[in-house]
Amino acid sequence: MTTRIVYQQELKNLNKAVLEMSRELQAAITETVSALQTMDAAKAREIMKNDDKIDTIERTIETTCIELISKQAPIAGDLRSISSYMRMIADIERIADHCSDISEYIVQLSEEKEIPMPDGVCEMISEMRLMSEMVITSFIESDYEKAAMVIKHDDIVDDYFEKIKQELGYAMKHNPDRIFAYIDYLMIIKYVERMADHCTNLAHWVQFIISGQLEL
């Protein structure tokens, strides 16, 4: 097998590894949403425990990218893809970290006096989850317009965050005995908002791979 063929196979394997990491992330998001909706502390603890898996994939991909750059000296489109992968996996890893962060607050909420989930939280999480699904699809299909849709949806998540934050502030003022639970929910929606921001970053990197134009 010639050096060029080996190199092309390494690039394909790298693409598959990024896709695998993306799918692991999607599974983590799904589990986190489920744990929050049911206040399942056991599931939340499992999510935190499994966070290391995505960290390991990230380190492997990062090492592969560095080796390809140093040994193969890729140019043009290949270099653009490899450098983008390195930025993408950082965003994917941060989203996974936030799944773990949210899970910590789920455990805390499960131990506190139960309160109804604030209005809009489920809808906000659904929007963020949709963004994560769309950005993975845009990556798989090299779909510039779908990546652009992800970026537009970030505004929807931001709007939910502001509305829920105001509602929680009102609830804290009128129900001081439950303030710690409301603070936990405030932290949860902040992490969801950050996850949406990272999905937006991913969408910009997908667009960069496709077009060569970076608009972060």
Distance (Å, whole) CA 186 – CA 167: 10
Report pLDDT digits (tens) over 106-123: 999 998 877 888 999 999
> Tokens representing 22?
């993306």
Distance (Å, whole) CA 204 – CA 199: 9
- CA distance to 112, 159, 203, 208, per residue, from 188 (Å): 15, 15, 23, 31
Report pLDDT digits (tens) over 76-135: 888 999 999 999 999 999 999 999 999 999 999 998 877 888 999 999 999 999 999 999
Place of tokens 């999510």: 47
Report pLDDT digits (tens) over 156-215: 999 999 999 999 999 999 999 899 999 999 999 999 999 999 999 999 999 999 998 877
Residue 112 backbone dihedrals phi, psi, to 5 degrees: -100, 175
Distance (Å, whole) CA 194 – CA 192: 5
- Say if CB 112 and CB 180 are below 8 A apart: yes
Distance (Å, whole) CA 168 – CA 112: 16
